[in-house]
Structure 1
Amino acid sequence: MVIDLNTGAIVHWLRLEGIVTELYDVQIIPEAQKPMALGFQTEEIAKLITLEL
């Protein structure tokens, strides 16, 4: 679930159907305005740059 911490309202959710054998990580993204998930076969994934410092 994506929860607005200011209001406590659920603003979005994701339901996984079937048996989940692994769930790698859950994160809180401070001050995120528009987080999104990218599919591996989308044009956006080719433009994604990740820097690890």
Structure 2
Amino acid sequence: MSKNILAIYPHPDDETIIGAGTLRKHVKAGDKITLVCATLGQNGTPHGSTFFC
């Protein structure tokens, strides 16, 4: 039975740095992932020209 996973992170890229392994495990198990970023990262140091989440 698949699960619905809600992952909430404060900044863009946090899901990659903090939770990528866990999220991958759920995706491979067939679970549905919903990812929410609380900010656009506008107060951080940009590593590119655009912030996406």
TM-score scaled to structure 2, two decimals? 0.22
Question: Computing the radius of gyration over CA atoms, which structure comes out larger, 1 or 2?
Answer: 1
TM-score norm. by structure 1 comes to 0.22
The structure richer in helix per residue is 2
Structure number with higher relative contact order (C-alpha < 8 Å, ≥ 6 residues apart) = 2
Which one has a larger percent strand, Structure 1 or Structure 2? 2
